[in-house]
Structure 1
Amino acid sequence: MTSLVPGPHRASHRPSGTVRPAGEPAVGLPRWAFVPAAVGGLLVLLPLVAMGSRVDWSSFASLITSESSLAALGLSLRTAATSTLLCLVLGIPMALVLARARFAGLDLLRSLVLVPLVLPPVVGGIALLYTFGRRGLLGSSMEVLGVQIAFSTTAVVLAQTFVALPFLVISLEGSLRTAGTRYDVVAASLGARPTTVLRRVTLPLVWPGLASGTVLSFARALGEFGATITFAGSLQGVTRTLPLEIYLQRETDPDAAVALSFLLVLVAVLVIASTRTHRRVR
């Protein structure tokens, strides 16, 4: 009788997600792919290296710890964290609807959700201004109630959320489609309520996609400039985030602008690296 257990002469099938042993060749990777890959890597890395070479390291600490720099950095971190939380609250249901719901106009809705990805940020700022500004679609009614959003810290959060939300939605929607619904159906057949299925089954299954989308949203919010300056202005301690501070310092103190730019890069790298480390630990 022929054994069903694969012998040593047969190709073994490694489970998905396992690490390929060192020295094992990548299957199906053409050699020419390394050339454009290297060019692409240099295109990303060389500008960062060039910027780092222009940093005045002798006065780096004093440049990034000035009162205006610390205020801008603190505001950027607070507003980016708040907008990321808002992206999670709004983006998870949006991704669920786009991935699992079936109704007329779903493709159009998906296209509209992704519009901020292709819009210039300044156009997004103008759209927000005509929505929440003093004479905007909703802003005029809010003004009567004594609520003013434009040119406030709330405006910064809304601008960052507007440009960052699609990153979370598109990442999570892709993960939901890949995961499928078989485990959700099993949990529902055992009597679990839809919210329980979402919390105990669906979200844990798509955790890598959710984590990636969250990091992308935070990084995009942290670096947002165009929509913020158009909709929120540049008031120190209120709406002047770190990208706006870098832009202003570039005209008056180029050394400070370069130092703050390098600081922003370091913060972004640390956030992404910490998330990837957390995913490997899991």
Structure 2
Amino acid sequence: MDTLWVPLLLSLKVAAIATMIAFFAGVLLAWLFTMKKNIWTEGLSLLTMLPLVLPPTVLGYYLLVGLGRRSPLGQWYEAITGSPIVFTWQAAVIAAAIAALPLVVRPVQAAFESISRQSLEAAQLDGANQWQLLIRIILPLSIPGIVAGVVLGFARAMGEFGATLMVAGNIPGQTQTLSIAIYDAVQANRMDDAHMMVIVLSIITVGFLFIISRSAGRVR
């Protein structure tokens, strides 16, 4: 059973943390892209969407180069923690968060842009600053879009494979997520294990989508 539960628990931990990171970053980016439309934010928006179009192994390669022991970020992390970030579960979180980010940003940005400009202008006339607009008006009116972003982001993080394998590796009990464990089981012709893991992953993902979608329906 360890072949199932250990990678499952790791996948849930990685996906939960990655979704949280993608949520906060996605909300801020969506707010920036909505409120500040210029050539710089358009360029940043295109950069944010790259994980959707890049092959996962290419994304993983960029992460490996950017987080490796020879990179400034990798050296800084190792100087603080005493160990490299690559081939750790934290690296898997980073890979999953970056892969999930565009799927959070797009629905949240669409929700932000659907809010009436007159409502925002009226709030500004009453003295609301940018942060008050975001916290008190934009976010409460955008809950369905935010929920959609969280759902898509979690599903993407839960199933992330290529980039995670590149930057975190396949270390049983440490970085082997459920998606990678399924791949390992198929490669080793352990089809019964693979079937069980696929069923469990599917049930969790679909169940999460169902629960969150029902919650979003009650909010509308």
What is the TM-score with the length of structure 2 in the denominator? 0.93
- Aligned-pair distance for 1:200? 1.5
User: Partners in 2 of 1:108 and 1:157 — Cα distance?
Assistant: 25
- Aligned with residue 63 of structure 2, among 120, 128, 132: 128
Aligned to 2:74: 139
1:95 and 2:30 matched: yes
- Aligned with residue 200 of structure 2, among 263, 278, 282: 263
1:166 and 2:102 matched: yes
Range with greater deviation from structure 2 (200-209 or 173-182) = 173-182
User: Partners in 1 of 2:42 and 2:131 — Cα distance?
Assistant: 25
1:150-208 per-residue CA deviation (whole Å, 9 max, x = no partner) reads: 00111010000111101011111111112243222222222233322211110111111
- Partner SS state of residue 179, structure 1: coil
Aligned to 1:231: 167
Q: Which has the higher helix share?
A: 2
User: Partners in 2 of 1:150 and 1:255 — Cα distance?
Assistant: 31
CA contact (8 A) 1:125 1:230 kept: yes
Aligned to 1:198: 134
- Aligned with residue 178 of structure 1, among 114, 117, 124: 114
User: Partners in 1 of 2:113 and 2:132 — Cα distance?
Assistant: 19
Identity, % of aligned pairs? 33
Aligned to 1:154: 90
User: Partners in 2 of 1:104 and 1:230 — Cα distance?
Assistant: 32
- Report matched runs for 1:9-158 at 5 Å: 66-145=1-80, 146-158=82-94
What is the TM-score with the length of structure 1 in the denominator? 0.73
In the alignment, structure 2 segments of 5+ residues that lack a partner are none
Amino acid at match of 1:112: L
- Aligned-pair distance for 1:122? 1.0
Aligned to 2:145: 209
After superposing on structure 2, the runs of 4+ consecutive aligned residues of structure 1 that deviate more than 4 Å are: none
Aligned to 1:247: 183
CA contact (8 A) 1:122 1:227 kept: yes
CA contact (8 A) 1:156 1:239 kept: yes
- Aligned with residue 209 of structure 2, among 238, 261, 272: 272
- Partner SS state of residue 217, structure 1: helix
User: Partners in 2 of 1:122 and 1:176 — Cα distance?
Assistant: 32
- Partner SS state of residue 153, structure 2: helix
- Aligned-pair distance for 1:99? 1.4
1:97-146 per-residue CA deviation (whole Å, 9 max, x = no partner) reads: 11110333332222111011001111111100100111234213433442
Range with greater deviation from structure 2 (111-120 or 216-225) = 111-120
User: Partners in 2 of 1:237 and 1:159 — Cα distance?
Assistant: 18
Aligned to 1:7: none
User: Partners in 1 of 2:43 and 2:127 — Cα distance?
Assistant: 34
Range with greater deviation from structure 2 (172-181 or 75-84) = 172-181
Q: 1:107 to 1:197 in 2, by over 3 A?
A: closer
Amino acid at match of 1:272: L
User: Partners in 1 of 2:154 and 2:118 — Cα distance?
Assistant: 31
- Aligned-pair distance for 1:274? 0.5
CA contact (8 A) 2:143 2:216 kept: no
Give 1 or 2 for the bigger CA radius of gyration: 1
Which one has more relative contact order, counting CA pairs under 8 Å at least 6 apart? 2
Range with greater deviation from structure 2 (135-144 or 117-126) = 135-144
In the alignment, structure 1 segments of 5+ residues that lack a partner are 1-65
